[in-house]
Amino acid sequence: QVEQVKLLDRFSTSNKSLTGTLYLTATHLLFIDSSQRETWILHHHIAAVEKLPLTTSGCPLVIQCKNFRIVHFVVPRERDCHDIYNSLLQLSRTAKYEELYAFSYNPKQNESEQVKGWQLIDLAEEYKRMGVPNDYWQLSDANRDYKICETYPRELYVPRTASKPIIVGSSKFRSKGRFPVLSYYHKNKEAAICRCSQPLSGFSARCLEDEHMLQAISKANPSNRYMYVMDTRPKLNAMANRAAGKGYENEDNYSNIRFQFVGIENIHVMRSSLQKLLEVSGTRGLSVNDFLSGLENSGWLRHVKAVLDAAVFLAKAIAVESASVLVHCSDGWDRTSQVCSLGALLLDSYYRTIKGFMVLIEKDWISFGHKFSDRCCQLDGDPKEISPVFTQFLESVWNLTEQFPQAFEYNEAFLLQIHEHVHSCQFGNFLGNCQKEREELKLKEKTYSLWPFLLAEQKKYQNPLYNPDFSPELTLLEPNTVSFNFKFWRNMYHQFDRSMHPRQSMFSLIMNTSEQNKQLEEDIKELEAKIKQRNGQSDVVLVKEQEQTAHPAPVALKSPPCFQKEQPPMPVNDAVRTIEGSNTADNRYSELVSEFSKAEPAVVSLEYGVARMTC
């Protein structure tokens, strides 16, 4: 506990600050300012802590979080600052999974609730919904004991004609043993999305079993014998891999395939791209042109567009040509997950529902071994393994929700909340890198699943504009991917910088109104029933009861005992019509006047004024 700590506004150029007390708990860093407002920061969310050079007012401490919050404290005494710094360094770096918050987090659920929570998303059920097993596809037990591929789930769906030797042979020819398996089956078109890793083809190697495997996939589609093989990497990268004995499919060796590169960059490019984006957007006194050129130089929107373009290509191959598609990148757990899941999202409206989206993440990301632990740096590990692949996926989905405001059951807050918890390590879902690892950690016994908690407060995540009839089941969503449709996701990257957001949120107003409408509908029913009752019998006893229930029904949308201590990013129960924090001090032109109004001599301050004005 340190007192008299100042919290600075990240973007304000005046040195306005909040003074309060900083507390360090086992799991959180807590700051309580003089007006008792609390800022909670989970240790696991801390990406970096930095101690800046000592100033006259104290020792500045900058904390960067994985949810893009950046806080700037000034601690009066250097020793305290040093202590906090060291503690945070230790607390934010965890060496063992068992030390993560999820293992100590206790949401007061009993054991059966915990078990039921984990059963909420059932992937076998999901494959059944898609229409498999069927005449062409079956459940394979080849990986039952993770013998063929450690990073795949136990249960895999493959073409019926793919025998065990073919599977084994194919897996030996694929990087990390990730052989082609079913990711999504489109029952109307009878076409499939399959996924795998790159073949170990080098410059000339072949594998008959692998060729058979692909043939089996193309034969499992009675509507179109041709299948696409999408290599989601840039061609140059794929070619370079050949030198390392890896590579891509040679069209001559595989019958009936059309090979296609789609050019999504690798995790390292994405990591530095986001890094650049954040550097630019975090600049104080940023000019429009610096922002736009920074946005361009970061390449971030270009990458998001590339991901979405690939998904559109995939979805069209299925919906328009009824062709099956095999997707891979290098290892088949980053770009492949992005493209497969987004493709399915475009094809199947189920994934645009709240439950469906959870299923999609469980299937294409968690079960197929997207390395959440490495990518999100859950444990202290190799910084080169960190990459915002999943963030990029969420951003692609957000872009779709912007273009199709009525197609999604969930809203932006849902995407942000999921992003929050991918990094929070508060729930078991995203811990570890693959299913095998999760089983070894006994996550289902020792931790809780995130999904039931999200479902319990799904009111917050519902899109009030959602129209379930927007697109009938299995009609393709066709986004426009012209560059100008892609926007900077302010609510993600500046989620905690309140001064940048609209002071009145149309979104939460519509949310509240729509919620209130439901309440009013009920009130009407209740009132009508009472009137009816009254007409039937003039019973005086009822009067009292009415007095109690008939008081105006405000939208008492108090969020249920929040499972996270933080206020949700966009509080639903905000008094939306009031203008939050609308004062000039929040905005950057404010300092101009207040500063030179102090300066007295007219001649001097004139120049001062000019100098300030040009900035």
Partner 1 sequence: MEFAELIKTPRADNVVLHRPFHPAVEGTLCLTGHHLIFSSRRQDNAEELWLLHSNIDSIEKRFVGSLGTIVIKCKDLRIIQLDIPGMEECLNIASSIEALSTLDSVTLMYPFFYRPMFEVLEDGWSSFLLEQEFELLSSVTNEWRLSCVNKEFSVCPSYPPVVIVPKSVDDEALRKVAVFRHGGRFPVLSYYHKKNGMAMMRSSQPLTGTNGRRCKEDEKLINATLRSGRRGFVIDTRPLAVAQQARAKGGGFEQEVHYPQWRRIHKFIERFNILQESFIKLVEACNDQSHNMDRWLSKLEASNWLTHIKELLTAACLAAQCIDREGASVLVHGSEGTDSTLQVTSLAQIILDPRCRTIRGFEALVVREWLQAGHPFQQRCAQSAYSNSKQKWEAPVFLLFLECVWQIHRQFPCSFEFNEQFLIMLFEHAYASQFGTFLGNNEYERAKLKLPQKTMSLWSWVNRPEELSRFQNPLYEANSLVIWPSVAPQSLQLWEGVFLRWNRPSKFLEEAEEERINIIKYNKELQAKVNALRRQLAEMETDEEVQEE
How many Cβ atoms from other residues are within 10 Å of residue 525's Cβ? 10
Binding flag, residue 517, partner 1 (CB under 8 A): yes
- Reported for 41-44, long-range contacts at CB under 8 A and 24+ positions apart, including other chains, are 41/65, 41/69, 41/71, 42/101, 42/424, 42/426, 43/88, 43/91, 43/92, 43/101, 44/92, 44/94, 44/100, 44/101, 44/378, 44/423, 44/424, 44/425, 44/426
User: In the set 25, 255, 275, 584, which binds partner 1 (CB under 8 A)?
Assistant: 584
Q: Which residues sit opposite 51 in a β-bridge? A: 61
User: In the set 295, 346, 413, 492, which binds partner 1 (CB under 8 A)?
Assistant: 295
| Residue 266 annotated as part of some ligand binding site | yes
User: In the set 10, 51, 160, 305, which binds partner 1 (CB under 8 A)?
Assistant: 305
Binding flag, residue 390, partner 1 (CB under 8 A): no
At a CB cut-off of 8 Å and minimum separation 6, what does 549 contact? 526
| Residue 535 annotated as part of some ligand binding site | no
Binding flag, residue 405, partner 1 (CB under 8 A): yes
- In residues, how long is the chain? 615
Binding flag, residue 596, partner 1 (CB under 8 A): yes
User: In the set 115, 546, 560, 575, which binds partner 1 (CB under 8 A)?
Assistant: 546
Binding flag, residue 583, partner 1 (CB under 8 A): yes
| Residue 510 annotated as part of some ligand binding site | no
User: In the set 124, 236, 520, 575, which binds partner 1 (CB under 8 A)?
Assistant: 520
Burial class (CB in 10 A: 0-12, 13-18, 19+), 143: buried
Binding flag, residue 527, partner 1 (CB under 8 A): yes
**At 440, which helix (H) or strand (E)?**
helix 435-440
From the list 232-240, 324-332, 436-444, 521-529, the region that binds partner 1 by CB under 8 A is 521-529
Instruction: Write the Ramachandran bin of 229: left for phi over 0, alpha for psi from -120 to 50, otherwise beta.
Output: beta
At a CB cut-off of 8 Å and minimum separation 6, what does 601 contact? none
For residue 297, what are its two tokens? 């130089």
Q: What span, in angstroms and rounded, lies between the C-alpha atoms of 81 and 70?
A: 17
| Residue 59 annotated as part of some ligand binding site | no
Q: What span, in angstroms and rounded, lies between the C-alpha atoms of 335 and 328?
A: 8
Binding flag, residue 16, partner 1 (CB under 8 A): no
Q: How many CA atoms lie within 13 A of 284 on its CB side?
A: 13
Residue closest to 375 by CA, chosen among 419, 320, 310, 309:
419
Binding flag, residue 66, partner 1 (CB under 8 A): no
Binding flag, residue 549, partner 1 (CB under 8 A): no
| Residue 343 annotated as part of some ligand binding site | no
| Residue 365 annotated as part of some ligand binding site | no
Residue closest to 571 by CA, chosen among 583, 586, 559, 554:
559
User: In the set 40, 146, 259, 404, which binds partner 1 (CB under 8 A)?
Assistant: 404
From the list 25-33, 72-80, 284-292, 442-450, the region that binds partner 1 by CB under 8 A is 284-292
| Nearest distance, CB of residue 411 and partner 1, angstroms | 12
For partner 1, the closer CB: 301 or 377: 301
Q: How many CA atoms lie within 13 A of 466 on its CB side?
A: 17
For partner 1, the closer CB: 456 or 542: 542
| Nearest distance, CB of residue 326 and partner 1, angstroms | 27
Binding flag, residue 403, partner 1 (CB under 8 A): yes
User: In the set 56, 204, 548, 597, which binds partner 1 (CB under 8 A)?
Assistant: 597
Give the three-class secondary structure for 228.
Answer: strand
Binding flag, residue 577, partner 1 (CB under 8 A): yes
Sheet holding 324-328, edge to edge: 181-186, 191-196, 324-328, 227-231, 257-261
For residue 277, what are its two tokens? 């984006």
Binding residues among 464-503 for partner 1 as defined by CB under 8 A? 464-465, 467, 480, 482-488, 490, 494, 499-503
Binding flag, residue 531, partner 1 (CB under 8 A): yes
Binding residues among 406-465 for partner 1 as defined by CB under 8 A? 406-407, 464-465
Binding flag, residue 510, partner 1 (CB under 8 A): yes
From the list 68-76, 209-217, 339-347, 512-520, the region that binds partner 1 by CB under 8 A is 512-520
State the catalytic residues. Answer: 329
| Nearest distance, CB of residue 487 and partner 1, angstroms | 8
| Nearest distance, CB of residue 467 and partner 1, angstroms | 7
Binding flag, residue 605, partner 1 (CB under 8 A): yes
Binding flag, residue 12, partner 1 (CB under 8 A): no
From the list 77-85, 213-221, 262-270, 585-593, the region that binds partner 1 by CB under 8 A is 585-593
For residue 181, what are its two tokens? 């398996």
Confirm if 125 and 456 have CB atoms less than 8 A apart.
no
Residue closest to 189 by CA, chosen among 214, 220, 215:
220
User: In the set 550, 560, 562, 565, which binds partner 1 (CB under 8 A)?
Assistant: 550
From the list 53-61, 94-102, 316-324, 572-580, the region that binds partner 1 by CB under 8 A is 572-580
| Residue 374 annotated as part of some ligand binding site | no
| Concatenated DSSP letters of 526-538 | HHHHHHHHHHH--
Paired sense of beta strands 156-159 and 2-8, if any:
unpaired
Binding flag, residue 537, partner 1 (CB under 8 A): no
One-letter amino acid at 252 equals: D
Residue matched to tokens 């109307």: 188
| Residue 267 annotated as part of some ligand binding site | yes
| Residue 331 annotated as part of some ligand binding site | yes
Binding flag, residue 553, partner 1 (CB under 8 A): yes
From the list 214-222, 229-237, 342-350, 545-553, the region that binds partner 1 by CB under 8 A is 545-553
How many residues interact with partner 1 (rule CB under 8 A)?
87
For the annotated binding site, the residues are 266-267, 329-335
